[in-house]
Amino acid sequence: MIRYIFKRLVYMIPTLFGMSLIAFLIIQLPPGDYLTSMIASMTQSGQNVDPRQIALLREIYGFDDPIHVQYWKWITGIVTRGDFGHSFEWNRPVSDLIWDRMGGTLTLSIASLLFVWAVSIPIGIYSAVRRHSISDHVFTFFGFLGLAIPNFILALTLMYVSYRFLGQSVGGLYSPEYVGAPMSWGKLLDFLAHLWIPVIVIGTAGTAKLIRILRANLTDELHKPYVVTARAKGLPEYKVVLKYPVRIALNPVVSAIGWVLPELVSGITITAIVLNLPTAGPLLLRALISQDMYLAGSFILLMGVLTLVGMLISDILLALLDPRIRFR
Amino acid sequence: MTEVSAVGEITRVGETAQRPASSDPVLSVEGLSLDFLLRRHILHAVRNVSFTLERGKTLCLVGESGSGKSVTARALMRIVDKPGKITGGKVVLNTDGNPVDVTALPDGSKEILKLRGGKIGLIFQEPMSSLSPVHTIGSQIIEVLRLHRAMSKKEARAETIELLRQVEISNPEEMIDRYTFEFSGGMRQRAMIAMALACDPDILIADEPTTALDVTTQADILGLIKRLQTSRGMALLLITHDLGVVAEVADEVAVMRYGRIVEMGDVDTIFHAPQHPYTKRLLASTVKLEKGRAASQSRPRAETVPILSVRDVTKVYGGAKEWFGKAAFALKAVDSVSFDLHAGENLGIVGESGSGKTTLGRLILRVTEPSEGAIIYRPERGEEVDVRALSKDKLRDFHRQVRLVFQDPFASLNPRMTVKQVIADPLVVSGGMTGKAIEEKVAHLLELVGLDPLAMERYPHAFSGGQRQRIGIARALALDPKIIIADEATSALDGSIRSQILDLLLDIQRQLDLSYIFISHDISTVRYFCDRVAVMHKGKIVELDTAEKICTTPEEAYTKSLISAVPSPDPRNKRMLHRHRFQA
């Protein structure tokens, strides 16, 4: 097992290298660079642009170097100094910007992942065992509803409900009075009160998806002979279901962790903008629009890393869960 | 009390002679009926079935698939799947002097849970899928012990090791922590038996326990079940469609058809004086397989040039160097096999699972690339094709003339394609035929395999196992092949349907001048069907001779042990349980 993990980690190195190359190419692809978009917005607002100053900036930022030189500077900075470059727009190191946002993003992501599991696993099992019952149809109906409603509409609705009926301040993760305040019990409670809206909004579609997956898988497994064997042993019905078929039907749930991680960073962008959440998504969007290349590139690279890590985690979990994978 | 009656009534013959009148049945079933409430109609799966089980005795339930055998057996434990419902009758279990009517107990009640596994043990057909793949063998058995016998973890573990030893699993201390996929089929079935016997049940239900196993393993497992039954004094309910097995182990036999027991009696009477026409027919189709080839054997041979010659074909798996130059474990799946196939001949290849017979079939087609050896194909007089040297295009031509029929008629037909599409697929792929011509050809092929040409617009699910296998054969015949490789083509079928398919294949052979390579683990089938038989063991052909010679006077020790393991469908001439054993 340890050897397997080690091997996987070694294999990740060339993949990471390839990804960094692609990430860099992507941010170079759009015509122009940060300065052209800056000039464009400056001329638009009627400001004077001094060509000499632009040339100077170009030299400082190294925009005139050939692409491979630029890449080399960027990647050696990351590998040797952990320096992801400098954000032009924010005028701060990229790593600071990302770290600022990472805490909120991770908390929110993990909270919604747990929400998804807590809701969908019991419902999925129930739907599979009582297939075609009325409650199964009801869950299925709400599942499809959850899949079909666009996240931002759900976000707006919940914001309205919470403002109108619960009298809460909405948007962001904290009430205005706590932003920037040191951590305290009051702040924590306030945080939790704010958390539920984004968690539900982000989790709904995932929950619906997972219920469908689990229901389909479990329906297949429930009629396998080993379930009859378990029943013939004299196990009570709930134990028969939970111990044998559910365990096997959980495999796809676990393998989905792989792409849950990167999706949490980029996938919730729209929701995050609507709800004004301090997560990574809006920052990435802003960076891409203004061609803030080091910031955008680092984000893309980070998402790649998260995908790899997610895949590794899900593979390890799968191996732990299913000996058939472990032994091959 | 002998009463001969119409279909649907029970014919009881020779019942009183067999057992003392005083013995109490441990389980008696009276008029059990079971319905499946389907969407549009009610299916009477079991109708008015009655029988009794006694300690130390074996009752065999015989019948073809779909006759309601398994459902009956499961109903004894009240394991009835959803649309099914027990609608009548009683199942009285009497293990300790207090008779209990199992059908009257409430669903999921403690009494039922106690009875499952505690008083009635169940073994199933598929040892592959009837144990959970993600739990160790040990944990699955320990669970039963802890459930019914209130043992501590440690005691249960020790007991499990003891049980594994009793079912003759070698090295039980180590095997207890293994997973099912690390066991062979026979070992899994042993583990399953250990689980069923864990709580010393009074009744053991074995539902086709050896159908998925090859003959030698089957003989081992049946011998084991028999021994355990005698030593523990259990009642055994054995469900099977193999009359050979019945003749070897049964005391009493109940023949089921369409959910009814049509005839019941002691084994000798059933085999030697059957009353019901269905029993007679079942017996007739079995005995026929035993008797040797009825088909014309007088065709001129020997002077002809073989149509296919296989010389020293070898397949090695693994053995390549690993990353760090360490030579990996190599397995010779097929080890320098040579044989000739003459035009119009049926060559049988028999062997246990893992003997390399299926691999050999794939090597001939080059679906799997042989490691060494030569395969020469002679389609016309004087023409020679070196199969191993063929380019991809030429190989396609070769595949047009040498076709494969698969084992599983359910898995080998695409459920989303109509029969016409399935059969026409090779014609479409090879090109050069218009829609109309294809349709005519498909109709012709369907007639050839004994199906109505009107069936071509239907989907495979509308057909039974035997009919599906006919469709598979029609597909193989679509390109007018010269050789057909039938890989266990009849193994998944019931006895009487099996002989129909074999007769069909022989009939087609007479019309179309085909040669067959017939791969099977079922020796009686091979004897019926083949002119010559090659016996494979561990990748080698140990003996190759006429079918008659192999089956009656084999030379090699291995062949002898294999032949003697075949159950004989005559209770007066039991063979399997006194067989030769082969150590290798």
- DSSP codes, B297-349: --S--SSSPPSEEEEEEEEEEE-SB-TTSPBPPEEEEEEEEEEEE-TT-EEEE
* All CATH 3.40.50.300 domain ranges in chain B, comma separated: 11-24+55-69+106-287, 345-369+395-553
| Closest residue of chain A to B197, computed from CA coordinates | A233
Please tell me the predicted confidence (pLDDT) of residue B238. Answer: 93
Is A232 within 8 Å of B117 when comparing Cβ atoms?
yes
Residue A75 sits in the same domain as residue A147: no
List CB contacts (< 8 A) between A222 and chain B.
none
Please tell me the predicted confidence (pLDDT) of residue B322. Answer: 52
Q: Which position has the higher pLDDT, A185 or B13?
A: A185
Residue A42 sits in the same domain as residue A126: no
Residue A71 sits in the same domain as residue A136: no
Question: What is B415-436 written as a DSSP string?
Answer: TTS-HHHHHHHHHHHH----HH
* Residue ranges making up the domain that contains A121: 98-289
Residue A219 included in any domain: yes
Residue A220 sits in the same domain as residue A176: yes
- What's the gap in Å between the CA of B137 and the closest CA on chain A? 12
The type of residue at B331 is: L
From CA A225, how far away is CA A159, in angstroms rounded?
A: 49
Q: What is the mean pLDDT of chain B?
A: 83
Please tell me the predicted confidence (pLDDT) of residue B289. Answer: 64
Note whether A225 contacts B: Cβ–Cβ < 8 A: yes
**Which residue blocks in B150-304 are alpha helix, DSSP H?**
153-166, 172-175, 185-197, 215-232, 243-249, 267-272, 277-290
Residue A148 sits in the same domain as residue A81: no
Cβ contact B469:B491 at 8 Å: no
- Token readout for B2 is 């002998």
Residue A142 sits in the same domain as residue A34: no
Please tell me the predicted confidence (pLDDT) of residue B16. Answer: 40
Is A229 within 8 Å of B79 when comparing Cβ atoms?
no
Q: Is B128 helix (H, G, I), strand (E, B) or coil?
A: coil
User: Mean pLDDT throughout B391-412?
Assistant: 83
Across B339-375, b (16+ Cβ under 10 Å) vs e yields bbbbbbbbbbbbbbbbbbbbbbbbbbbbebebeebeb
Q: Is B10 helix (H, G, I), strand (E, B) or coil?
A: coil
Each residue of B17-58: pLDDT tens digit? 344 434 678 999 999 998 888 777 788 888 899 999 999 899
Query: How many other CB atoms are there within 10 angstroms of residue A174's CB atom?
Result: 18
List CB contacts (< 8 A) between A324 and chain B.
133-134, 179, 181
Tell me, which fold does domain B345-369+395-553 have in CATH?
Rossmann fold (3.40.50)
Note whether A223 contacts B: Cβ–Cβ < 8 A: yes
Q: Over 50: is that where the pLDDT of A264 sits?
A: yes
Residue A93 included in any domain: no
Domain boundary among A37, A52, A86: A86
List CB contacts (< 8 A) between A244 and chain B.
132, 135
User: Rounded to the nearest 5°, which phi and psi values hold at B201?
Assistant: -70, 160
User: Mean pLDDT throughout B135-140?
Assistant: 90
Cβ contact B578:B565 at 8 Å: no
Q: Look at strands B330-341 and B385-386 and give their pairing.
A: unpaired
- What's the gap in Å between the CA of B109 and the closest CA on chain A? 9
Interface test with A, best of B132, B139, B141, B193 (most A CBs within 10 A): B132
Q: Over 60: is that where the pLDDT of B327 sits?
A: no
Residue A247's closest CA among A263, A226, A265, A278? Answer: A226
Each residue of A105-131: pLDDT tens digit? 778 888 888 888 899 899 999 999 888
Each residue of A37-75: pLDDT tens digit? 777 777 777 777 777 877 777 777 777 777 788 888 888
From CA B339, how far away is CA B375, in angstroms rounded?
A: 10
Type and span of the H or E element at B253: strand B252-257
Residue A261 sits in the same domain as residue A166: yes
Please tell me the predicted confidence (pLDDT) of residue B15. Answer: 41
First to last CA, chain B: 51
Q: Which residue has the tokens 């293990």?
A: B95
Q: Look at strands B402-405 and B483-487 and give their pairing.
A: parallel
User: Rounded to the nearest 5°, which phi and psi values hold at B336?
Assistant: 30, 75
Residue A120 included in any domain: yes
User: Mean pLDDT throughout A77-92?
Assistant: 80
Residue A213 included in any domain: yes
Each residue of B252-294: pLDDT tens digit? 999 998 889 999 999 999 988 999 999 988 888 876 666 666 5
Is A235 within 8 Å of B113 when comparing Cβ atoms?
yes
Q: Is B32 helix (H, G, I), strand (E, B) or coil?
A: strand
Residue A141 sits in the same domain as residue A221: yes
Q: Which position has the higher pLDDT, B390 or B409?
A: B390
Number of domains making up chain A = 2
* Neighbour-count burial of B170, counting CB atoms closer than 10 A to its CB (0-12 exposed, 13-18 middle, 19+ buried): exposed
Q: Over 80: is that where the pLDDT of B100 sits?
A: yes
Residue B256's closest CA among B20, B570, B29, B489? Answer: B29
From CA A279, how far away is CA A97, in angstroms rounded?
A: 11
Give the up-direction half-sphere exposure of residue B90: CA atoms within 13 A in the CB hemisphere: 9
Give the up-direction half-sphere exposure of residue B240: CA atoms within 13 A in the CB hemisphere: 26
Q: Which of A232, A247, A324 sits opposite B122 (nearest CB)?
A: A232
The type of residue at A214 is: L
Each residue of A136-148: pLDDT tens digit? 999 889 888 888 8
Type and span of the H or E element at A197: helix A185-222
| Closest residue of chain A to B81, computed from CA coordinates | A223
Interface test with A, best of B134, B146, B183 (most A CBs within 10 A): B134
Q: What is the mean pLDDT of chain A?
A: 82
* Neighbour-count burial of A172, counting CB atoms closer than 10 A to its CB (0-12 exposed, 13-18 middle, 19+ buried): middle
Cβ contact B176:B136 at 8 Å: yes
From CA B228, how far away is CA B221, in angstroms rounded?
A: 11
CATH of the domain at A271: 1.10.3720.10
User: Mean pLDDT throughout B484-509?
Assistant: 84
Query: How many other CB atoms are there within 10 angstroms of residue B469's CB atom?
Result: 31
Domain boundary among A86, A118, A151: A86
Residue A128 sits in the same domain as residue A273: yes
Rounded to whole angstroms, what are the CA distances from A20 to A26, A82, A290, B375, B407? Answer: 10, 14, 20, 52, 50
Band the pLDDT of A328: cuts 50, 70, 90. low
* Neighbour-count burial of A134, counting CB atoms closer than 10 A to its CB (0-12 exposed, 13-18 middle, 19+ buried): exposed
The architecture that CATH gives domain B11-24+55-69+106-287 is 3-Layer(aba) Sandwich (3.40)
Q: Which position has the higher pLDDT, B59 or B525?
A: B59
The one-character DSSP state at B556 is S
User: Mean pLDDT throughout B309-333?
Assistant: 71
List CB contacts (< 8 A) between A223 and chain B.
81
The arrangement of strands across the sheet holding B308-318 comes to B330-341, B308-318, B372-377, B385-386
From CA A122, how far away is CA A124, in angstroms rounded?
A: 5
Residue A302 included in any domain: no
- Token readout for A236 is 């009570």
Cβ contact B28:B43 at 8 Å: no
Work out the widest C-alpha separation in chain A, in whole angstroms: 86
Note whether A132 contacts B: Cβ–Cβ < 8 A: no
From CA B413, how far away is CA B425, in angstroms rounded?
A: 11
Band the pLDDT of B534: cuts 50, 70, 90. very high
Across A192-213, b (16+ Cβ under 10 Å) vs e yields ebbbebbbbbbbbbbbbbbbbb
Band the pLDDT of B10: cuts 50, 70, 90. very low
- What's the gap in Å between the CA of B494 and the closest CA on chain A? 21
Interface test with B, best of A7, A11, A233, A238 (most B CBs within 10 A): A233
Is B77 within 8 Å of A244 when comparing Cβ atoms?
no
- Token readout for A36 is 């052209």
Note whether B81 contacts A: Cβ–Cβ < 8 A: yes
Note whether B201 contacts A: Cβ–Cβ < 8 A: no
Note whether A231 contacts B: Cβ–Cβ < 8 A: yes
Residue B372's closest CA among B381, B385, B362, B363? Answer: B363
Q: Which of B74, B117, B134 sits opposite A233 (nearest CB)?
A: B117
The one-character DSSP state at A79 is I
Residue A198 included in any domain: yes
From CA A24, how far away is CA A293, in angstroms rounded?
A: 8
User: Mean pLDDT throughout B78-91?
Assistant: 84
The share of chain B scoring above pLDDT 90, in percent, equals 13
Residue A119 included in any domain: yes
Is A235 within 8 Å of B143 when comparing Cβ atoms?
yes
Query: How many other CB atoms are there within 10 angstroms of residue B466's CB atom?
Result: 20
From CA A267, how far away is CA B312, in angstroms rounded?
A: 60
Q: Over 70: is that where the pLDDT of A219 sits?
A: yes
Residue B75's closest CA among B37, B120, B38, B118? Answer: B120
Q: Which of A226, A235, A327 sits opposite B131 (nearest CB)?
A: A226
Residue A64 sits in the same domain as residue A103: no
From CA B575, how far away is CA B569, in angstroms rounded?
A: 9
Please tell me the predicted confidence (pLDDT) of residue B321. Answer: 53
ipTM over 0.90: no
Residue A185 sits in the same domain as residue A214: yes
B19-28, B121-130, B198-207, B555-564: segment of lowest average pLDDT: B19-28
Residue B251's closest CA among B60, B384, B524, B38? Answer: B60
| Closest residue of chain A to B121, computed from CA coordinates | A232
From CA A27, how far away is CA A297, in angstroms rounded?
A: 6
Residue A70 sits in the same domain as residue A140: no
Q: Look at strands B27-37 and B42-53 and give their pairing.
A: antiparallel
